[in-house]
């Protein structure tokens, strides 16, 4: 290869069919990164021959993944070329199960959000089976709407706040939802047969990290994403890959024993980090029972806006509460910087909403603590994806198959044609 | 591909030359994993045609990487086939710079150690320039001996206890060596021109992890390797890759602020983990000044044997010192398990030598702390590579180019032929 990089660790021989599948992905990824362009331009950019590109594009059109775009107007002489572009009618779905609701988002192949929905639901209270019923209902409603608009769904990823056993496709334990051993993929696949393509399951912080890696302020960087909600988790991307670990439990920072041991955690132990930086910890610090802030049925955005209002007015208790969170957040971030050496730590969820009260303390601690500043150091950034990050990451994962092996979507194309009649 | 895996993230198109280079690597890796076998057998195992395999083997023979082995005796009928095997004359070098000496090891393509040397040297005391002189001298002596025995060196990796800036190929800071901003790769490359092929630099714990991943009790697993010496570092392997982080500083656990804040660290801060689990911490607990244990000029193996002897005799102070290390080690290991979710945590360096006094406490803490046992849990293992782990990992890294892109070694083959006249 021109840049001297080698293929994946040499375990599997490559034949000509694999080579063609790989090059199909090359064309799709170039169109995604660079936007619409002519076959001749793709050939020039990739080093593939024009004949090869034409043949690859023909197959991608048949798969419903690319289509003719506008005529090329590059100001040059000669007749304008026909451009090729990604087919915006292909989309991936992400759904997030939160303790107080269900959120859904769909992204098309170009990364544009095509649907976003939220349903309030006491998922922790009603138990897994009834919650999965409600999740399936919300997904079907979204999928129906997407198909009505002519979109084809290539997959669904479910985000959950807890330990995901990647191999068994199960939620092992979520203290936040009070769920244990829930077969989420199996349960939803049964409820959604023929509606959304393959169903996958992933930890919410991992998906937040995946979304930030694709589109956020830290796109393409080694990063740690902190999901700040009732629970706290970390999604870690290094070398372009999510750190999942041997069982899929990687990034489980919420229960690191770095807090004050007088705090009892929902998991039954003491001193977990989450008892100091989780939203519950902040609410306990800043509000008494009966305060509207503690009303779990009110949208979280509204309650956070109220905390922000009080802090801006200089309310002593609110300011002290935020300072306490910032202090503990700083210690955890400093540990993550030492262990992972990310280019960026991204504050997600409620941390993002209140980031101007938290970031300065974290930056000071990172500066004070580190052994040596890296050439570019470690930045602290606020997530711009807000509470949608996990859903977006889920949609990205659903689309990943299309981007890494376009030919594998042939089945979905046929299936959806039968179901939706849209391709 | 048969198993549905795709090639590397689709950014670079594959042409037929790249395909051939990839398949050269496939043949080398199969021979390494499975041992000598006939061309026909390789074809059957990989799915490549016999003609392709013959052509690939011919190129590999020309590159000096494989050669004819014995005749195949598989008990079948028909005439025995000529087997092909890795050429044992190709080797990679690893050299480790320790505060009290320099260690060198070479491994051949089959992973067999072909040389191991150690020189006592006060590297921390004499400063970087004089230490690099001594390192180069030791490497030249080893390289000369290897060439005399007909071996060809394809590269050298230098292990250092400290922060390695991967891009700049520099040692940024090593509290253990009291070195700052040392251009190790440049300094050694100048001193070793034409002797050892390309020089690389890596953190010692990362190389220990790399060696364990290749050959140890955790071969092929997601793992954390803890280097226990004067300093303490972690090498983390997830998904088959070293976690290096954005600058190459990943796994810097020695200065995590999880210790008692009354302990002042060599880095100038308080409460670093290394102040409780480093060898210096143990020695302070178990020995007064003047005790032979504190004699840094005595081999570390000898001093550790004395600690073990005292512990086995039930000496109260020694036992209490080991218990204190075990308690702090447990907390750090529990954090690493939560963050990385490794299948195995490997105790290296001095932790390995005294592991029977440390492992039970760590196992108890992991059992007590974890939110949910993974399907297979996280084991604690003692490194069987001892203090050679970093050198071995360095030799593996030096050999990696041969294994991922055999054709790239063509230059080394020519160069060494001219220099050593051995191929």
* Closest by Cα among B207, B218, B216, B214 to B248: B207
Measured from the Cβ of residue B414, the count of other Cβ atoms closer than 10 Å reads 12
Chain A CB contacts of B378 below 8 Å? 246
Quick one: closest CA in B to A267, which residue? B371
Supply A377's token pair: 């150091």
The side-by-side arrangement of strands in the sheet containing B179-182 is: B163-165, B170-174, B179-182
Q: B230 near B161, Cβ under 8 Å?
A: yes
To the nearest 10°, report the CA torsion of A404, A410, A414, A416.
Answer: 0
Please classify residue A116 by burial: count the beta carbons closer than 10 Å to its beta carbon, then call 0-12 exposed, 13-18 middle and 19+ buried.
Answer: middle
Looking at per-residue pLDDT, the higher value among A216 and B411 belongs to: A216
pLDDT tens for each residue of B229-251: 888 999 999 988 999 998 888 99
User: Can you name the residues that pair with B379 across neighbouring β-strands?
Assistant: B344
- Average pLDDT of the segment spanning B114-129: 93
Any CB–CB contact under 8 A between A272 and chain B?
no
Any CB–CB contact under 8 A between A367 and chain B?
no
Q: Which of A249, A369, A378, A396 to mutate to test the interface with B (most CBs of B within 10 A)?
A: A249
pLDDT band at B159 (very low <50, low <70, confident <90, very high): very high
Residue A246 is nearest to which of B8, B244, B342, comparing CB atoms? B342
Answer whether residue A113 shows pLDDT above 70: yes
Supply A209's token pair: 């990290």
Q: Is the dihedral of CA B85, B89, B91, B95 positive or negative?
A: positive
pLDDT tens for each residue of A262-314: 888 877 788 899 999 999 999 999 999 999 999 888 888 999 999 999 999 99
Helix (H, G, I), strand (E, B) or coil at B181: strand
Judge: A246–B173 Cβ closer than 8 Å, yes or no.
no
* Closest by Cα among A153, A35, A131 to A394: A153
* Dist CA B268 CA B325 (whole Å): 21
pLDDT tens for each residue of B131-156: 999 999 999 999 999 999 999 999 99
Answer whether residue B81 shows pLDDT above 90: no
pLDDT band at B342 (very low <50, low <70, confident <90, very high): very high
Q: B411 near B152, Cβ under 8 Å?
A: no
To the nearest 10°, report the CA torsion of A109, A63, A406, A208.
Answer: 30
The answer to which of A207-216, A388-397, B14-23, B139-148 has the lowest mean pLDDT is B14-23
Q: B177 near B97, Cβ under 8 Å?
A: yes
Supply B192's token pair: 């070793």
* Backbone φ, ψ for residue B70 (5° rounding): -80, 170
pLDDT band at A78 (very low <50, low <70, confident <90, very high): low
* Dist CA B212 CA B226 (whole Å): 11
Helix, strand, coil percent values for chain B (each to nearest 5): 45, 20, 35
Judge: A12–B5 Cβ closer than 8 Å, yes or no.
yes
Answer whether residue A11 shows pLDDT above 60: no
pLDDT band at A8 (very low <50, low <70, confident <90, very high): very low
Name B418's Cβ contacts closer than 8 Å, sequence gap at least 6.
none
- Average pLDDT of the segment spanning A76-95: 85
The overall average pLDDT reported for chain A is 88
Looking at per-residue pLDDT, the higher value among A22 and A144 belongs to: A144
Looking at per-residue pLDDT, the higher value among A255 and A413 belongs to: A255
Chain A CB contacts of B376 below 8 Å? 246-247
Answer whether residue B126 shows pLDDT above 60: yes
DSSP string computed for A71-90: EP--S-SSPPPEEEEE-TTE
Q: A343 near B243, Cβ under 8 Å?
A: no
The count of CB pairs under 8 A between chains A and B is 241
Helix, strand, coil percent values for chain A (each to nearest 5): 45, 20, 35
Helix (H, G, I), strand (E, B) or coil at A354: coil
The whole-number pLDDT of residue A411 equals 59
Q: A396 near A214, Cβ under 8 Å?
A: yes
Q: A47 near B18, Cβ under 8 Å?
A: no
DSSP class of residue A293?
Answer: G
Answer whether residue A4 shows pLDDT above 80: no
Q: A270 near A276, Cβ under 8 Å?
A: no
- Average pLDDT of the segment spanning B376-399: 92
- Average pLDDT of the segment spanning A247-251: 88
Measured from the Cβ of residue B24, the count of other Cβ atoms closer than 10 Å reads 24
To the nearest 10°, report the CA torsion of A140, A146, A147, A148.
Answer: 110
* Dist CA B234 CA B250 (whole Å): 8
Answer whether residue B418 shows pLDDT above 60: no
Q: How many residues does chain A have?
A: 423
The region, left, alpha or beta by phi > 0 then psi within -120 to 50, assigned to residue B188 is alpha
DSSP string computed for B318-361: HHHHHHHHHHHHHHHHHHHHHHH--SEEEE-HHHHHTHHHHHHH
Distance between A373 CA and the closest CA of chain B, angstroms: 9
**Strand B90-98, strand B152-160: pairing:** parallel
Q: List helix spans (H) across A96-247.
A: 123-126, 128-148, 184-191, 204-215
Answer whether residue B414 shows pLDDT above 90: no
Name A149's Cβ contacts closer than 8 Å, sequence gap at least 6.
A114
The whole-number pLDDT of residue B411 equals 59
Name B219's Cβ contacts closer than 8 Å, sequence gap at least 6.
B212, B213
* Closest by Cα among A418, A224, A242 to A335: A224
Looking at per-residue pLDDT, the higher value among B420 and A279 belongs to: A279
- Average pLDDT of the segment spanning A43-58: 90
User: Can you name the residues that pair with B226 across neighbouring β-strands?
Assistant: B234, B347
Quick one: closest CA in A to B237, which residue? A245
Answer whether residue B259 shows pLDDT above 90: no
Any CB–CB contact under 8 A between A22 and chain B?
yes
Chain A CB contacts of B253 below 8 Å? 338-339
User: Can you name the residues that pair with A92 across neighbouring β-strands?
Assistant: A107
Distance between A39 CA and the closest CA of chain B, angstroms: 15
Asked whether the whole model's pTM tops 0.90, one would answer no
* Closest by Cα among B194, B170, B191 to B181: B170
Chain B CB contacts of A2 below 8 Å? 12
Any CB–CB contact under 8 A between B268 and chain A?
no
Any CB–CB contact under 8 A between A339 and chain B?
yes
Any CB–CB contact under 8 A between B65 and chain A?
no
Chain B CB contacts of A28 below 8 Å? 10
* Dist CA B45 CA B41 (whole Å): 6
Helix (H, G, I), strand (E, B) or coil at A315: coil
The overall average pLDDT reported for chain B is 88
The side-by-side arrangement of strands in the sheet containing B101-108 is: B113-120, B101-108, B90-98, B152-160, B199-203
Percent of chain A with pLDDT over 70: 90
The answer to which of A95-99, A234-238, A269-273 has the lowest mean pLDDT is A269-273
pLDDT band at B160 (very low <50, low <70, confident <90, very high): very high
* Closest by Cα among A66, A337, A129, A342 to A221: A342
Any CB–CB contact under 8 A between B28 and chain A?
yes
Answer whether residue B75 shows pLDDT above 60: no
Quick one: closest CA in A to B249, which residue? A341
Any CB–CB contact under 8 A between B400 and chain A?
no
Taking only Cα atoms into account, the Rg of chain A, rounded to an integer number of angstroms, comes to 23
Judge: B249–A341 Cβ closer than 8 Å, yes or no.
yes
pLDDT tens for each residue of B189-198: 999 998 999 9
Quick one: closest CA in A to B337, which residue? A250
The whole-number pLDDT of residue A396 equals 94
Distance between B173 CA and the closest CA of chain A, angstroms: 7
* Dist CA A381 CA A364 (whole Å): 14
pLDDT tens for each residue of A146-179: 999 999 999 999 999 999 988 889 999 998 899 9
* Closest by Cα among A86, A107, A114 to A30: A86
Any CB–CB contact under 8 A between A65 and chain B?
no
Distance between A335 CA and the closest CA of chain B, angstroms: 6
Supply B307's token pair: 């600690």
Any CB–CB contact under 8 A between B257 and chain A?
yes
pLDDT band at A387 (very low <50, low <70, confident <90, very high): confident
* Dist CA B394 CA B385 (whole Å): 13
Helix (H, G, I), strand (E, B) or coil at A306: helix
The whole-number pLDDT of residue A420 equals 36
Helical pair A279-286 and A300-312, crossing angle rounded to 10 deg: 50
Helix (H, G, I), strand (E, B) or coil at B287: coil
Q: A330 near A367, Cβ under 8 Å?
A: no
* Closest by Cα among A185, A112, A204 to A394: A204
pLDDT band at A57 (very low <50, low <70, confident <90, very high): very high
Answer whether residue A343 shows pLDDT above 60: yes
Between residues 147 and 166 of chain A, which touch chain B (CB distance below 8 Å)? 163, 165
Judge: A340–B245 Cβ closer than 8 Å, yes or no.
yes
Judge: B371–A13 Cβ closer than 8 Å, yes or no.
no
Answer whether residue A90 shows pLDDT above 60: yes
Q: What domains can you pick out in chain B, each with its CATH number?
A: 16-86 (1.10.10.10), 90-207+389-420 (3.30.420.40), 219-384 (3.30.420.40)
Which residue spans within B35-167 are E strands per DSSP?
37-38, 66-71, 82-86, 90-98, 101-108, 113-120, 152-160, 163-165
Looking at per-residue pLDDT, the higher value among B263 and A357 belongs to: A357
Chain B CB contacts of A331 below 8 Å? 257
Which residue is it, tokens 């290869």?
Answer: A1
To the nearest 10°, report the CA torsion of B193, B199, B205, B206.
Answer: -170
Q: A232 near A274, Cβ under 8 Å?
A: yes
**Strand B344-347, strand B66-71: pairing:** unpaired
């Amino acid at each position: 290869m021109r840049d001297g990089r080698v293929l994946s660790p040499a375990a599997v021989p490559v034949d000509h069919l694999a080579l063609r599948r790989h090059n199909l992905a090359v064309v799709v990824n170039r169109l995604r990164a660079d936007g619409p362009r002519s076959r001749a331009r793709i050939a020039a950019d990739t080093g593939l021959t024009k004949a090869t590109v034409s043949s690859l594009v023909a197959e991608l059109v048949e798969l419903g993944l690319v289509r003719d775009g506008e005529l090329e107007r590059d100001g040059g002489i000669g007749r304008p070329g026909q451009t090729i572009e990604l087919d915006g009618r292909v989309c991936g779905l992400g759904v997030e199960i939160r303790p107080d609701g269900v959120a859904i988002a769909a992204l098309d192949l170009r990364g544009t959000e095509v649907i976003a929905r939220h349903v309030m639901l006491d998922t922790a209270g009603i138990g897994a089976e009834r919650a999965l019923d409600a999740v399936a209902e919300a997904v079907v409603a979204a999928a129906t709407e997407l198909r009505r608009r002519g979109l084809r769904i290539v997959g669904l990823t479910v985000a959950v706040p807890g330990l995901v056993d990647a191999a068994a496709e199960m939620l092992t334990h979520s203290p936040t939802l009070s769920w244990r051993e829930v077969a989420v993929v199996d349960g939803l696949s049964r409820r959604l047969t023929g509606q959304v393509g393959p169903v996958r399951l992933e930890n919410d912080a991992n998906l937040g990290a995946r979304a930030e890696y694709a589109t956020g302020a830290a796109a393409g960087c080694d990063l740690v994403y902190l999901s700040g909600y009732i629970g706290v988790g970390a999604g870690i991307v290094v070398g372009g890959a999510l750190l999942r670990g041997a069982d899929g439990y990687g990034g489980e920072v919420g229960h690191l024993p770095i807090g004050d041991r007088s705090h009892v955690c929902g998991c039954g132990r003491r001193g977990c980090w989450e008892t100091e930086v989780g939203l519950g910890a902040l609410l306990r610090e800043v509000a008494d029972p009966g305060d509207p802030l503690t009303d779990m049925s009110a949208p979280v955005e509204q309650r956070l806006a109220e905390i922000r209002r009080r802090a801006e007015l200089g309310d002593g208790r609110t300011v002290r509460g935020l300072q306490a969170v910032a202090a503990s957040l700083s210690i955890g971030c400093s540990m993550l910087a030492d262990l992972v050496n990310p280019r960026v730590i991204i504050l997600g969820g409620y941390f993002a909403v209140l980031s101007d009260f938290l970031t300065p303390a974290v930056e000071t601690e990172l500066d004070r603590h580190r052994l040596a500043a890296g050439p570019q150091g470690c930045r602290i950034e606020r997530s711009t994806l807000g509470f949608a990050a996990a859903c977006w990451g889920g949609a990205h994962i659903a689309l990943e198959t299309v981007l890494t092996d376009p030919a594998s979507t042939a089945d979905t194309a046929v299936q959806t044609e039968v179901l939706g009649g849209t391709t």
